[in-house]
Chains A and B, each alone.
Chain A
Amino acid sequence: MSDMEEIGGPEVPERPHRVIGTPPPTPPLLGSGHEAGGGGEVEPAEERLPSESDFPSQANNAEKIVAWSFLLAFIAGCGFIAAYVGLEVHSLDATLRSNLALGISLSVALLGLGLGALIWVRQLMPDAELTEIRHDPRSPTKDRQAFEEYFAEGTAASQFVKRPIVRRTLMLATLPLAAIPIVVLRDLGPQPGTSLRHTVWSPGRRLLVYGTNQPITPAEFSAPGGMITIVPDGYQDNQDELAKAAVILIKFRPGELQIPTSYNGSTLVGTMNWTVDNIVAYSKICTHVGCPVALYEQTTHHILCPCHQSTFDATTGATVIFGPAARPLPQLPLTTDAQGYLVARSDFTQPVGPSFWERG
């Protein structure tokens, strides 16, 4: 209580009018010191804050503006509550209306508060500038020495240095404890095993059109230039499997396709015919970081990954012609089953998707 009453001091006379653009005059805020009055120790003179506005006539105007701003904030705040209570949501249009009303009223309330506070401090409060002495953070040397001495004393008293067996066994004891937080993370997931090498494609598994989930015959996919997305029969809704097994199907005009293709490791060698009726199937999972390669340009037969623009040439076995992907999109060997539907001849012959250490 006594603290608070110290603030302030003798009134500072009104200062001269200040020209806009010039730096504010530094008010002589040094306390006169006479309040220390009753003798005793003389404290160093302290700067005092003025208690009167710099320009009382303008201050009265400013006071009104501040009050109006706060009043506006009050009304807008009430408006927010009213909009919350009164406006329904549960549909796109209603949500839009509600969002507008809530957002505007909240913004106005905040702006009103901010504006009021700003004018208050700028126009009502007398201009004041204080100066503080900076002290280097460094402790005085004698304190540092005293610290060092005591620390050395403490260390000696603890016998930590003198008895190495205690020290070493203590350190030994903490090692496994420090490792435990890492070790217990082991069960976050299973070991990868060979799961990245296989997909659910197997001999005879039908190709389903993504979206309709219907099997497809070569005759139904007869328009050259088209590209559709394919999912494996039985796994249409299995996200984990689709993340590896998604396939794109592209139909070419006769003569455009320069494969039969096969791989030796990651290298393309042409021997086998994995296509049916100029229809070829590639993995949809980019060999860069796994985005779906979803863009196909009919005229150039380029497959483009929209994430990082790796570009693959569909006519030559999806070899990379631009971008960060280092390997062609693996090809899914195709054939048809007894009913004439497109089916996989086998799984992919190499891992799909991004590179990983064990891929080889």
Chain B
Amino acid sequence: MSQTSDDLHVPRSLSGLGGWLDDRFGGARGIRLLLKKVFPDHWSFMLGEIALYSFIILLLTGTFLSLFFVPSLNEVVYHGSYTKLDGIRMSEAYQSTLNISFDVRAGLLMREIHHWAADLFMASIIVHMLRNFFTAAYRKPREVTWLIGVVIFMLGLLEGLFGYSLPDDQLSGAGIRILEGVILGIPIVGTYAAFFLFGGQYPGTSIVPRMYIIHVLLIPGILLALITAHVVFVFYQKHTAMPAKNQTDRIETGQPFYPYFLAKTSAWFMFVFAAIALLATFAQINPIWVYGPYTPVAISSASQPDFYMGFLEGSLRMMPAWEWNFLGHTVSFSVLIPFAVPAGIIFGGLLFWPFFEQWATGDRSYHHVNDRPRNAPIRTATGMAAVVFYGVLWAEGANDVIADFLQIPLYTVTWISRVLVIVGPILAFVITRRICLGLQRKDKETLLHGYETGIIRQLPNGEYIEVHKPVPEEVRAVLEAKKVPALMPGPDSEDANGVPAPTSRRMLGKARAAANRAFAETIVVEADGHGNGHGPEVPGEEHAAAGEEHAPVSAPGATPQLPRGDEDA
């Protein structure tokens, strides 16, 4: 109290309210800590916020739309404001969507904002997820946060599919028809599942009301709970930090929530909302009145779903015809494989990766400082392979548009994609791994020799050298942030008590040893440096070059447990 100045004056109304609340609930101590909570600053930490704010915008606009939308497939004859469809038979769902667009003020804007926000929600989740993957932010203790994020991503797909199918227009109706065809393709239960979902034969009159309640209540409720948990975990476990000078796993540095982060993130919300509003105003999306009401008899060419469903659409288009008939039953692999395999690889891979990495590295310690992608070649290469796999599937989802745009035959595009979906990820893996190792070599050069200055100097003995400038501390800290998992004891080895190493256990053990070696691959920076000058070659240099792969660096210079260059021993 003794130091109260004008700057520290709190309005009486506010302090009164605070006191009133604290009298009843307490919490002054805890909330003060929350207000002081530190948020690290990095552009990539805003990606998740885009998803969060898109979700809030989706809730707001979705609530508005639900006040006017009629989730019914009962047939009506249209006599509304959009005269081009006058006298056309359509469902109440389609009619009410027309009414929202043309007869409710701001209705069209709300629809467009809702649709764009959904696309941004999914896009930002994907980019956010890639950031977290490539910097390994999912490591202990954040595995659960990662898992929740993946589930949010999967639910987002379903939520989006059901959402854009609600207006019962020609384009989204085709998507629902495809959904029905895929469900029919599920062995044994498929036919029943389709009949139960659609309340009988396709299309029936049940699917839109059913999708509606799933879209506005069930999935958003689950999403809200999961997103809350996701954010609470980020709060509770504290945010990861990027490698920097003085950054360790023990501290977190940044600006406090109140007032800095609060103001910044509010500004960010406004910018995200403004960007969506601008898109909604100037970039028309889903003009359902152009597509017309749905009928199973008709379709338009170049039908593409929203971008996040594109990879599944592409895998359906890519698949060659393959069907089995046996014992009076049909198994349609042309439908099953395109849905089960990419979804299995992508979602399964995302869910299991943190645990696979933990298993391969044997690393059970806490990690709060993010990895640089180059410092984990196997992880980064796997991630890039997955990106290429997804990307090829996604592009194939628009193969007709690509064929038309490039003026090449449609089947050629499909054949290219069939090859690329297998070869592309392999190439991406190999190339990315080489790039990572190359970047590590560059880091090593920088660490050992500093920057080239371009100044040539003659030594007293007549030798010319280029003067190198030592690396600034800030950069050095980042370069030295590399942590490589230690090699596990090799197969057939035992610990002090005679217990065989985990890698000794048959096939799984050998696989683990191989995975462990792959993860431990790194470019060693020799501890005994050559100073900053460019001295004569020393024998150690050669040694480093020979052993630079498959050597542990967690303790540079330590004897590796595996014989170098002899992995299969």
Whether A118 contacts B330 in the complex (CB less than 8 A), given A84-B106, A107-B274, comes out as: no
Whether A243 contacts B198 in the complex (CB less than 8 A), given A90-B102, A125-B259, A289-B316, comes out as: no
**Interfacial chain A residues near B451, Cβ < 8 Å:** none
Per-residue A-contact encoding for B299-324, CB less than 8 Å = 1, 0 else: 11111000000000100110111110
Are A356 and B2 neighbours in the complex by a CB distance under 8 Å? no
Bound CA span A260–B274, Å:
63
Are A229 and B180 neighbours in the complex by a CB distance under 8 Å? no
Per-residue A-contact encoding for B158-177, CB less than 8 Å = 1, 0 else: 00000000000000001001
A11 CB to closest chain B CB (Å) equals 8
Are A308 and B281 neighbours in the complex by a CB distance under 8 Å? no
Bound CA span A35–B2, Å:
8
In the complex, whether A25 has a CB less than 8 A from a CB of chain B is: no
**Interfacial chain A residues near B328, Cβ < 8 Å:** 358, 360
B175 CB to closest chain A CB (Å) equals 9
In the complex, whether A136 has a CB less than 8 A from a CB of chain B is: yes
Per-residue A-contact encoding for B325-362, CB less than 8 Å = 1, 0 else: 10011111011001000000000000000000000000
Are B197 and A103 neighbours in the complex by a CB distance under 8 Å? no
In the complex, whether A338 has a CB less than 8 A from a CB of chain B is: no
Per-residue A-contact encoding for B251-270, CB less than 8 Å = 1, 0 else: 11111100110011011111
B273 CB to closest chain A CB (Å) equals 5
Whether A8 contacts B8 in the complex (CB less than 8 A), given A130-B256, A289-B335, comes out as: yes
Among all A-B residue pairs, the 9 with the closest Cβ atoms: A289-B181, A103-B281, A114-B270, A326-B323, A117-B267, A355-B332, A110-B274, A243-B296, A354-B181
Are A291 and B197 neighbours in the complex by a CB distance under 8 Å? no
Whether A355 contacts B184 in the complex (CB less than 8 A), given A37-B2, A104-B281, A129-B254, comes out as: yes
Whether A103 contacts B109 in the complex (CB less than 8 A), given A289-B177, A294-B299, comes out as: yes
Among candidates A1, A239, A295, residue contacting B10 with C-beta atoms closer than 8 Å: A1
Per-residue B-contact encoding for A276-308, CB less than 8 Å = 1, 0 else: 000000001100111110110000000000111
Bound CA span A272–B316, Å:
34
Q: Which of B185-193, B377-385, B507-515 contacts A (4 or more CB under 8 A)?
A: B185-193
Per-residue B-contact encoding for A183-222, CB less than 8 Å = 1, 0 else: 0011011111001100000000000001000000000000
Bound CA span A100–B28, Å:
47
Q: Which of B4, B16, B202, B282 has the most CB of A within 10 A?
A: B202
**Interfacial chain B residues near A246, Cβ < 8 Å:** 296-297
Are A237 and B89 neighbours in the complex by a CB distance under 8 Å? yes
Query: Which residues 439-453 in B have Cβ within 8 Å of A in the complex?
Result: none
In the complex, whether B563 has a CB less than 8 A from a CB of chain A is: no
B355 CB to closest chain A CB (Å) equals 18
Are A239 and B203 neighbours in the complex by a CB distance under 8 Å? yes
Are B3 and A35 neighbours in the complex by a CB distance under 8 Å? yes
**Interfacial chain B residues near A87, Cβ < 8 Å:** 105
**Interfacial chain A residues near B322, Cβ < 8 Å:** 326
Among candidates A104, A128, A237, residue contacting B255 with C-beta atoms closer than 8 Å: A128
Are B267 and A118 neighbours in the complex by a CB distance under 8 Å? yes
Closest to B319 in A: A324
A255 CB to closest chain B CB (Å) equals 27
Are A357 and B297 neighbours in the complex by a CB distance under 8 Å? no
Among candidates A92, A114, A136, A196, residue contacting B267 with C-beta atoms closer than 8 Å: A114
Residue pairs across A and B with Cβ atoms less than 8 A apart, 15 shown, are: A3-B28, A3-B32, A4-B18, A37-B2, A87-B105, A106-B281, A107-B274, A130-B255, A189-B204, A237-B89, A240-B203, A308-B316, A324-B316, A355-B335, A360-B330
In the complex, whether A323 has a CB less than 8 A from a CB of chain B is: yes
Per-residue B-contact encoding for A98-134, CB less than 8 Å = 1, 0 else: 1110111011001101111110110001001111111
Beyond the given pairs A99-B109, A134-B251, 12 more chain A to chain B contacts, judged by CB atoms under 8 angstroms and listed by A's residue number, are A1-B18, A7-B8, A87-B105, A103-B112, A114-B266, A130-B36, A134-B250, A137-B141, A188-B206, A190-B195, A291-B178, A359-B330
**Interfacial chain B residues near A358, Cβ < 8 Å:** 191, 328-330
**Interfacial chain B residues near A196, Cβ < 8 Å:** 184, 191
In the complex, whether A231 has a CB less than 8 A from a CB of chain B is: yes
In the complex, whether A16 has a CB less than 8 A from a CB of chain B is: no
In the complex, whether B237 has a CB less than 8 A from a CB of chain A is: yes
| Residue ranges of A at the interface with B (Cβ–Cβ < 8 Å) | 1-10, 23, 35, 37, 49, 51-52, 84, 87, 89-92, 95, 98-100, 102-104, 106-107, 110-111, 113-118, 120-121, 125, 128-134, 136-137, 185-186, 188-192, 195-196, 210, 229, 231, 237, 239-240, 242-244, 246, 265-266, 284-285, 288-292, 294-295, 306-310, 320, 322-327, 353-360
Are A307 and B174 neighbours in the complex by a CB distance under 8 Å? yes
Are A125 and B260 neighbours in the complex by a CB distance under 8 Å? yes
Among candidates B81, B195, B281, B399, residue contacting A189 with C-beta atoms closer than 8 Å: B195
Among candidates B36, B329, B332, B399, residue contacting A309 with C-beta atoms closer than 8 Å: B399
**Interfacial chain A residues near B204, Cβ < 8 Å:** 189, 240
In the complex, whether B38 has a CB less than 8 A from a CB of chain A is: yes
Whether A290 contacts B299 in the complex (CB less than 8 A), given A189-B200, A322-B411, A355-B184, comes out as: no
**Interfacial chain A residues near B271, Cβ < 8 Å:** 110-111, 114, 118
Among candidates A188, A294, A324, A359, residue contacting B199 with C-beta atoms closer than 8 Å: A188
Whether A229 contacts B297 in the complex (CB less than 8 A), given A125-B260, A324-B319, A324-B320, comes out as: yes
Among candidates B28, B200, B338, residue contacting A190 with C-beta atoms closer than 8 Å: B200
Bound CA span A334–B95, Å:
38
In the complex, whether B196 has a CB less than 8 A from a CB of chain A is: yes
Are B297 and A306 neighbours in the complex by a CB distance under 8 Å? no
Whether A189 contacts B199 in the complex (CB less than 8 A), given A240-B204, A295-B301, A355-B330, comes out as: yes
Bound CA span A84–B199, Å:
41
Closest to B181 in A: A289
**Interfacial chain A residues near B5, Cβ < 8 Å:** 8, 51
**Interfacial chain A residues near B186, Cβ < 8 Å:** 357
Bound CA span A353–B298, Å:
15
In the complex, whether B19 has a CB less than 8 A from a CB of chain A is: yes
Bound CA span A9–B18, Å:
21
Are B317 and A294 neighbours in the complex by a CB distance under 8 Å? no
B111 CB to closest chain A CB (Å) equals 10
Query: Which residues 189-219 in B have Cβ within 8 Å of A in the complex?
Result: 189-192, 194-204, 206
Are B325 and A324 neighbours in the complex by a CB distance under 8 Å? no
Bound CA span A253–B8, Å:
93
Among candidates A102, A121, A210, residue contacting B264 with C-beta atoms closer than 8 Å: A121
**Interfacial chain A residues near B31, Cβ < 8 Å:** 3
Bound CA span A310–B400, Å:
12
Among candidates B7, B250, B254, residue contacting A8 with C-beta atoms closer than 8 Å: B7
Whether A117 contacts B270 in the complex (CB less than 8 A), given A243-B202, A324-B321, comes out as: yes
Are B102 and A128 neighbours in the complex by a CB distance under 8 Å? no
In the complex, whether B363 has a CB less than 8 A from a CB of chain A is: no
**Interfacial chain A residues near B82, Cβ < 8 Å:** 92
Are A306 and B329 neighbours in the complex by a CB distance under 8 Å? no
Per-residue A-contact encoding for B92-109, CB less than 8 Å = 1, 0 else: 000000000111111111
**Interfacial chain A residues near B329, Cβ < 8 Å:** 357-360
**Interfacial chain B residues near A107, Cβ < 8 Å:** 274, 277-278, 281
Are B102 and A91 neighbours in the complex by a CB distance under 8 Å? yes
Are A106 and B201 neighbours in the complex by a CB distance under 8 Å? no
Are B317 and A10 neighbours in the complex by a CB distance under 8 Å? no
Among candidates A1, A132, A310, A322, residue contacting B19 with C-beta atoms closer than 8 Å: A1
Are B400 and A306 neighbours in the complex by a CB distance under 8 Å? yes
**Interfacial chain B residues near A128, Cβ < 8 Å:** 255-256, 260
Bound CA span A190–B206, Å:
12
Are B317 and A309 neighbours in the complex by a CB distance under 8 Å? yes
Are B252 and A131 neighbours in the complex by a CB distance under 8 Å? yes
Bound CA span A195–B414, Å:
35
In the complex, whether B368 has a CB less than 8 A from a CB of chain A is: yes
Are B178 and A289 neighbours in the complex by a CB distance under 8 Å? yes
Bound CA span A242–B304, Å:
23
In the complex, whether B464 has a CB less than 8 A from a CB of chain A is: no
Are B323 and A355 neighbours in the complex by a CB distance under 8 Å? yes
Are A290 and B280 neighbours in the complex by a CB distance under 8 Å? no
Bound CA span A204–B89, Å:
28
Bound CA span A89–B268, Å:
32
Whether A290 contacts B7 in the complex (CB less than 8 A), given A35-B2, A191-B195, A240-B203, comes out as: no
